[in-house]
Amino acid sequence: MTASNSKKVLVVEDEREILQLVTHYLEKEGFRVLTATTGIEALKKVNNEKPDLLLLDLMLPEMDGLEVCKRVRAMPEAAMLPIIMLTAKAEESDTIVGLELGADDYVTKPFSPKALVARAKALLRRLERAPSAETTHYRYGPLAMDLGRHEVRFGEKEVLLTAKEFGLLEHLLRNPGRVLTRDVLLNTVWGYDYYGTTRTVDVHIRRLKQKLPLLDEAIVSVKSLGYKLKEL
């Protein structure tokens, strides 16, 4: 039995043909699939069904995907829920807003269902990865990360991070002083070779700095390459 057999995916899409196609490919890989066709229905199912992954269309009736994403991220119990947004190429500016609101990744339409399933698996694999026996805790000044508990604290206060924010911070803490290219970060943290825009990384770095102001000066942008975490 593969890991996907026990995973529940909520697909939120109002175009029936796309919904059926994505559902078919996910079920073929052993996922349990829940569906919703409106933003309101999506929120109810996130709250009641506790899915492991959310595939969220941007344009929805009643409430759009951006508002759904925002409301999901306001639920403490859904802080780590991986969210992939489905968007049309013409909606790129909205896509960046989606990333700012807490989406982990996005896929533009038209997309390959197989590629979408591979992206979903990569996100879930990253969450399932057991912490290394060598290091399960990291400290950076008053910032502490506990991989076993999947917890980040700043002093006495717990800071809620999304799955990708957590993975990105972990990789930076593992490699202080090293320049990490955007491609390396996408490959390591998102778990796949990425051939599109690398803005995803930039937005997640910005979100990390907003949630943990200590990192505002600690994470340095290296022109045309990527980022590095200053050594203390």
Strand order in the sheet with 137-140: 137-140, 143-146, 151-154, 157-158
pLDDT tens digits, the chain, 232 residues: what are they? 444 558 999 999 999 999 999 999 999 999 999 999 999 999 999 999 999 999 999 999 989 999 999 999 988 888 789 999 998 866 667 778 888 888 888 888 888 888 899 888 888 876 665 445 456 889 999 999 998 888 999 999 999 998 889 989 999 998 999 999 888 888 888 776 555 466 888 999 999 999 999 999 999 999 888 999 999 8
Taking the mean position of all CA atoms in its chain, how far away is CA 51? Answer: 14
Give the span between the Cα atoms of 16 and 22, in whole angstroms.
Answer: 10
User: Do 34 and 10 form a contact (C-beta atoms < 8 A)?
Assistant: yes
Report all structural domains of the chain as residue ranges with CATH numbers, in order of start: 3-128 (3.40.50.2300), 137-229 (1.10.10.10)
pTM over 0.95: no
Q: Is the dihedral of CA 145, 3, 57, 68 positive or negative?
A: negative
Q: At what angle do helices 113-128 and 16-28 cross, to 10 degrees?
A: 50
pLDDT score, position 3:
47
114 burial type by CB count under 10 A (0-12 exposed, 13-18 middle, 19+ buried): exposed
Give the span between the Cα atoms of 71 and 91, in whole angstroms.
Answer: 20
pLDDT score, position 193:
58
- C-alpha closest to that of 164 among 139, 193, 186: 186
Strand order in the sheet with 226-229: 180-181, 226-229, 219-222
Local structure of 108: helix, strand or coil: strand
pLDDT score, position 185:
87
